[in-house]
Chains A and B, each alone.
Chain A
Amino acid sequence: GAVVSQHPSRVICKSGTSVKIECRSLDFQATTMFWYRQFPKQSLMLMATSNEGSKATYEQGVEKDKFLINHASLTLSTLTVTSAHPEDSSFYICSASWGSTEAFFGQGTRLTVV
């Protein structure tokens, strides 16, 4: 299957700083990328959907100014958590697909804000 790589896999940052998470499709062109947040022992909560070259569509309750998503190319999308606070600590997962095919998932990024 296709490979999606997330970087970093773990990051610790200080409260008030920003952190960027990258999601790359390694062997296919991803027309759509999804960003999820997963709390411990809970399901994946869709944060936003991004299509290459257009603005991301955010789910209700997700602050677009706090979670900046950029999908500038067909192989890269980034999620920037701005002015991070401890409550932003979570597991962030991206997935990518092209057309209506299945979505392939990254390994996730564990963000800890101290």
Chain B
Amino acid sequence: AQRVTQPEKLLSVFKGAPVELKCNYSYSGSPELFWYVQYSRQRLQLLLRHISRESIKGFTADLNKGETSFHLKKPFAQEEDSAMYYCALRSYGGATNKLIFGTGTLLAVQP
């Protein structure tokens, strides 16, 4: 069964400190993984996807199939990074597909 695990509900760091939001997944096929972000009072929006291998707002995430992880990293946190971050997995099977989410991690960047 597909599953996405984000072990931390809350991550609090100081401005300028490195950030790593953990995400592990369980999926028997080739996963497509995403990080979504939700800023206060806004809708969910895509931050990045693993197949793009790009850096958005200074964030990067590398898919590690051996460890089944897709951790989100940023070397220097900014206050405007404070938001809810969700790791998501998209699976394809038969005539349908799914997009499932982890439980989310609230990132709080302190001044």
Contact = CB atoms under 8 A, between A and B. Distances in A.
Interface of A: 1, 32, 34, 36, 42-44, 46, 49, 51, 54, 57, 93, 95, 97, 100, 102-108
Interface of B: 32, 34, 36, 43-46, 49, 86, 90, 92, 95-104
A102 B49 contact: yes
A43 B102 contact: yes
The B interface is mostly helix, strand or loop, or mixed, namely strand
Contacts of B95: 51, 54
Contacts, number: 51
A110 B76 CA distance: 36
Contacts of B34: 102
A105 B44 contact: yes
11 contacts: A34-B98, A43-B101, A44-B86, A44-B101, A51-B96, A54-B95, A95-B99, A100-B92, A103-B90, A105-B36, A108-B43
B86 A43 contact: yes
